Amino acid sequence: MKKVKIAFWIVVFGFVGLIIYQNRGFFMSESHLVLNLGFFFYETPFLANAIFFVAFFLLGILLTYFLSLFKHFKDAKIIKALKAKEASLVETVATLEQQLRSQTAAAEPAPDTVTAAPVTDDDIVVAAEVK
């Protein structure tokens, strides 16, 4: 499976490289971005389109990382609370089992000691002897 993953990523990066190579005229042409908010105006210097693609790709990776980091902290807090609840429930079950054992032991009647007369050999009738 590991070799399949490696082969898959080689194929994916190969196709991306092929697309970039076939469109290198577009990626190497220079352009600039303009930000006009009405009260703020900014214009980037002329840069290759490939620089903008890489910059926005890295910006997306950073944004995704930080959003998943907050989710990780939230999940860790939930897991900690659930583990504490589980520990208290296990303790409750152990207490209830102990109470059940003590109630069962108290409710069981003491076995009666029956003293029966010993059986002698004279009283035993074997089925083969009876006719």
Contact of 47 with 28, CB cutoff 8 Å: no
Among 62, 57, 59, CA closest to 20? 57
* Rounded average pLDDT over 85-114: 85
CA distance 50 to 89: 58
pLDDT digits (tens, 9 = 90+) for 19-75: 989 998 888 889 888 988 889 898 988 988 899 999 999 999 999 999 999 899 999
* In 29-125, alpha helices (H): 49-107
Contact of 26 with 3, CB cutoff 8 Å: no
Among 3, 56, 11, CA closest to 33? 56
Mean pLDDT score of the chain: 86
Q: What is residue 88's three-state secondary structure? A: helix
- Alpha-carbon Rg for the chain in angstroms: 41
CA distance 56 to 44: 14
What is the model's pTM? 0.53
